[in-house]
Chains A and B, each alone.
Chain A
Amino acid sequence: MKLFGRNKQETTGSRESKGFRLFSLLSSSSLSDAFYTELEDLMVEGDMGVRLAVSVTEELKTRLKNEKTRDEAAARRILRDILRESLLTDSLRPDPDVLNIDLILGVNGVGKTTTIAKLAHFYAAEIGKEKIVLAAGDTFRAAAIDQLAVHGDRLGIRVVRHAPGADPGAVIYDAISSAKAKNSSLILADTAGRMHTKSHLIEELKKINKIIENKAAGCRLRKILVLDATTGQNSVSQAEIFHEAVGIDAVILTKYDSLSRGGNLFAVCRRFGLPIAFTGVGEGYEDLKPFDTEQFLDRFLGE
């Protein structure tokens, strides 16, 4: 595995121009080592991770060889194919026939509470805001309950809350009872940010999950992991531990407006088979977009 063939002069210029340079290189008649190095650089700088970037490049080489082509258009198509194959998506559309419970998980500061508010806004248009309940399950962080309550007020959506420090499992349990009684169709449950390295917090999560699973018989329970686009290779470690602990159903990528290119999603999708549902792109309630694979690839490749 030779990553840096030579010690090139440091390249300057913005990412965009790099993307263009990549494909102007592609258009040259032969695909040289410099081209592949350039390609690896582009992917590494998009947070894909160096090992995966190298293996994608190898795959591209193999496929080009198999198709017996060194043609620019072919390389462009094949690279995009390889990357597209890694990505899975899920619209997370609520099932209209049962009570849907979406448990929102993640490490500290990725934007769980804000994402819940945006999700509530998004689904309100589809199923009506009176059908949605927010559960203030982050009873740990100072004022997290208030934060969700403010969102609930602004959106006109009901919030089930307990006092700070209360058992998060109990909060969500109550939210389920309340939703059943009032015939709601969607619960968006907040949880405290938890570092995946703290085993007692992961154990707590398992416990919460167990309580909900018992209570949610006949409901559709989904566990959604929120990942921060500005996070580097640690996303993979986060996905691994949360997935192992409770089984993740889908991923939401926040802070995608940071211009980070979210390359860590390739590894997360590829290794754990997790689909991506939304990207968070700003501070407004409407700034949550269903994941668009082609747009994501455009930006990742600087096209």
Chain B
Amino acid sequence: MLEKISDQFSNIFRTLAGTRVITEKNITDAVEEIKIALLEADVNLRIVRRFINSTIEEAKGETVLKAVNPGQQFTKIVYDKLTDLLGDSRSKLELRGPDTVSVILMMGLQGSGKTTTAAKLAYRLTRNGRRVLLAAADLVRPAAVEQLRVMGKQAGVEVYAEDGEKDAVKVAKNALAYAKKQQFDTLIIDTAGRIHLDEVLMKEIAAVKKAVSPLEALFVADSMTGQQAVEIAKEFEEKVGMTGVVLTKFDSDARGGAAISLKTVTGKPLKFIGTGEKIENLEEFFPDRMASRILGMGDVVSLVEKAQEAIDQKEAEELEAKMAKAAFTLEDYLLQFQRVKKMGSVKNLLQMIPGAAGQIDEDKIDLDGMKKEEAMILSMTIQERRNHRIIGPSRKKRIALGSGTTVYDVNRLLNKFEKMRLMMKKVAKNKKYQENLLSQFEGRR
């Protein structure tokens, strides 16, 4: 895991973190690297250029040159600018009260994930107490109606469909009438995927939109989209018009530079991201997280903030000293678990680590294992926790019994812990490596 963490950006910023003053020259170098990183994240070339030009102006300003820590100051300018660009106060759905039907229209290219997103959104809004009706207006792709029916069932939402009907406008109108009559307060209309250049289908979706006057017209875009994202979004915005964007397939390892392209071109807020195949895998959009992902630096800023909250300086120093002497005990180990808990779930934490997002497979994180280990340590006496070497066979049996595990598990924990202590001692002796790690983690130096 650790080797994967050192992504490109972390490297750049680490290099910069070592210098106290940024010269114009090393801004230029970093800027060049940032351009490449943004392009590799699939941000549109012209947008990269525009963004970079304005960043250079800011970076050349006094704040950077006189800053206490130029490297971090520079990180912050890039990161803040991206966050500003992506952020939008309109990112919440604009729906009206229960006495009227709020219509949400989904649109996008084939395979961007409209049907899945429609169902996920229905599920989400239902859980927020809304009465949601899904309407199947994708009459082009074979079995699309059936797909929405199945997904509607998963979401526990009724699906309006007219089998055999070929006119999407008619279905949408009828669905709206049905929603009114049945007192639904929300209608989500799924539509056929269409290439932005297909005039007939673009006219159809514009007609659907006109017929039902949606409060939200959501453009569903694949987060893996490349340079063409700009042209695609432009066409949909000009020919149909949208109120917001949903980015799907965020469970890929794409850095999602399309988000920047889409936001810049349409000026419309990014509202949700799709993060998996399950019905609940639709999340709110956080501009700061997105900015770090595109930069390839994970949620480095929030990680730093959270870590600073959880570990105070003195504690950290004590821990360092213990590590150096291999005096790290099971008690300390337990403390680490509890800190991690304070920071939120391990999964969330991993997503925030630079380079770890998308690289680490959620399925491989042994959450149960962590719980088990915690239970075992909690079943130990304070003495045992402070000196694990006193734990013999009978103590092991007692610990296993107390924690609902087996002696084999206890042995495994003790072996693992012993190895960990050795490793820590090594790390602690290697000053350079340690400083690197700490400066990254705590924003020091």
The chain A residues found within 8 Å of chain B, CB to CB, are 1-4, 7-8, 10-11, 41, 44-47, 49-51, 107-111, 114, 140-144, 146-147, 149-151, 154, 164, 195-200, 228, 230-234, 237, 255, 257-260, 264, 283
Q: Give residues of chain B (339-396) contacting chain A, Cβ–Cβ below 8 Å.
A: 358, 361, 363-364
List residues of chain A with CB within 8 A of the CB of B358: 197
Shortest C-beta distance, A67 to chain B (Å), equals: 30
The docked-state distance in angstroms from the alpha carbon of A51 to that of B31 is 16
**Are B224 and A232 closer than 8 Å at their CB atoms?**
yes
The docked-state distance in angstroms from the alpha carbon of A154 to that of B52 is 52
Task: Assess whether B258 is interfacial by the CB under 8 Å rule.
Answer: yes
**Are A147 and B147 closer than 8 Å at their CB atoms?**
yes
List residues of chain B with CB within 8 A of the CB of A51: 36, 40
Other A-B contacts than A47-B42, A231-B225, 11 sampled, CB-CB below 8 A, are A10-B49, A108-B277, A111-B110, A142-B151, A143-B146, A154-B142, A197-B252, A228-B111, A232-B224, A234-B42, A237-B252
Among A111, A114, A146, chain B packs the most CB atoms within 10 A around the CB of A146
The answer to whether A234 and B252 touch (CB under 8 A), given A147-B142, A260-B228, is yes
The docked-state distance in angstroms from the alpha carbon of A149 to that of B226 is 32
- Out of A140, A146, A164, A232, name the residue touching B226 (CB < 8 Å): A232
Can you list 16 residue pairs at the A/B interface with Cβ under 8 Å? Answer: A7-B52, A8-B49, A10-B50, A44-B39, A44-B45, A47-B227, A50-B40, A108-B249, A109-B222, A114-B110, A143-B149, A144-B147, A146-B146, A232-B225, A259-B197, A260-B228
Q: Give residues of chain B (239-264) contacting chain A, Cβ–Cβ below 8 Å.
A: 248-249, 251-254, 257-258
**Are B109 and A255 closer than 8 Å at their CB atoms?**
yes
**Are B222 and A259 closer than 8 Å at their CB atoms?**
no
List residues of chain B with CB within 8 A of the CB of A230: 109, 222, 225-226, 228-229, 232
Shortest C-beta distance, B112 to chain A (Å), equals: 6
Chain B: CB-nearest residue to A53: B39
The docked-state distance in angstroms from the alpha carbon of A110 to that of B196 is 16
Shortest C-beta distance, B200 to chain A (Å), equals: 10
- Out of A1, A197, A232, name the residue touching B42 (CB < 8 Å): A232
Chain B: CB-nearest residue to A112: B111
List residues of chain B with CB within 8 A of the CB of A108: 111, 113, 249, 277
Q: Give residues of chain B (130-144) contacting chain A, Cβ–Cβ below 8 Å.
A: 140-144
Task: Assess whether B32 is interfacial by the CB under 8 Å rule.
Answer: yes
The docked-state distance in angstroms from the alpha carbon of A107 to that of B41 is 18
Over the window 27-55 of chain B, the binary record of Cβ atoms lying under 8 Å from chain A Cβ atoms (1 yes, 0 no) is 00000100110011110111001101100
Chain B: CB-nearest residue to A140: B277
- Out of A142, A231, A257, name the residue touching B195 (CB < 8 Å): A257
List residues of chain B with CB within 8 A of the CB of A257: 195, 197
List residues of chain A with CB within 8 A of the CB of B53: 7
Chain A: CB-nearest residue to B47: A10
**Are B110 and A255 closer than 8 Å at their CB atoms?**
yes
Shortest C-beta distance, A122 to chain B (Å), equals: 18
The docked-state distance in angstroms from the alpha carbon of A26 to that of B402 is 79
**Are A199 and B363 closer than 8 Å at their CB atoms?**
yes
Task: Assess whether B332 is interfacial by the CB under 8 Å rule.
Answer: no
**Are A3 and B36 closer than 8 Å at their CB atoms?**
yes
Shortest C-beta distance, B298 to chain A (Å), equals: 15
List residues of chain A with CB within 8 A of the CB of B253: 196-197, 234, 237
List residues of chain B with CB within 8 A of the CB of A151: 142
**Are B252 and A196 closer than 8 Å at their CB atoms?**
yes
The chain B residues found within 8 Å of chain A, CB to CB, are 32, 35-36, 39-42, 44-46, 49-50, 52-53, 56, 109-113, 140-144, 146-151, 154, 195-197, 222, 224-229, 231-232, 248-249, 251-254, 257-258, 277, 358, 361, 363-364
Q: Count the A-B residue pairs with Cβ separation under 8 angstroms: how many?
A: 164
The docked-state distance in angstroms from the alpha carbon of A158 to that of B44 is 44
The docked-state distance in angstroms from the alpha carbon of A65 to that of B347 is 53
- Out of A47, A146, A199, A264, name the residue touching B361 (CB < 8 Å): A199
Chain B: CB-nearest residue to A257: B195
**Are A10 and B46 closer than 8 Å at their CB atoms?**
yes
**Are A232 and B36 closer than 8 Å at their CB atoms?**
no
**Are B249 and A107 closer than 8 Å at their CB atoms?**
yes
**Are B252 and A195 closer than 8 Å at their CB atoms?**
yes
Shortest C-beta distance, B37 to chain A (Å), equals: 9
Shortest C-beta distance, A154 to chain B (Å), equals: 8
**Are B113 and A231 closer than 8 Å at their CB atoms?**
no
The answer to whether A195 and B249 touch (CB under 8 A), given A142-B150, A264-B226, is yes
List residues of chain B with CB within 8 A of the CB of A8: 49
**Are B45 and A45 closer than 8 Å at their CB atoms?**
yes
**Are A49 and B40 closer than 8 Å at their CB atoms?**
yes
The answer to whether A143 and B111 touch (CB under 8 A), given A197-B252, A198-B251, is no
Chain A: CB-nearest residue to B53: A7
**Are B146 and A109 closer than 8 Å at their CB atoms?**
no
List residues of chain A with CB within 8 A of the CB of B148: 142
The docked-state distance in angstroms from the alpha carbon of A299 to that of B49 is 24
The docked-state distance in angstroms from the alpha carbon of A114 to that of B109 is 14
List residues of chain A with CB within 8 A of the CB of B361: 197-200
Chain A: CB-nearest residue to B359: A197
* Interchain residue pairs A-B with the least CB separation, the first 6: A232-B226, A109-B111, A232-B42, A142-B150, A150-B142, A143-B147
List residues of chain B with CB within 8 A of the CB of A198: 251, 361, 363
The docked-state distance in angstroms from the alpha carbon of A198 to that of B396 is 37
The docked-state distance in angstroms from the alpha carbon of A44 to that of B150 is 41
List residues of chain A with CB within 8 A of the CB of B150: 142-143, 164
The docked-state distance in angstroms from the alpha carbon of A108 to that of B149 is 19
- Out of B39, B111, B140, B364, name the residue touching A111 (CB < 8 Å): B111
Among B140, B227, B232, chain A packs the most CB atoms within 10 A around the CB of B227
List residues of chain B with CB within 8 A of the CB of A3: 32, 35-36
List residues of chain B with CB within 8 A of the CB of A140: 277
The docked-state distance in angstroms from the alpha carbon of A147 to that of B146 is 9
**Are A147 and B141 closer than 8 Å at their CB atoms?**
yes
The docked-state distance in angstroms from the alpha carbon of A144 to that of B151 is 12
The docked-state distance in angstroms from the alpha carbon of A8 to that of B50 is 10
Shortest C-beta distance, B288 to chain A (Å), equals: 22
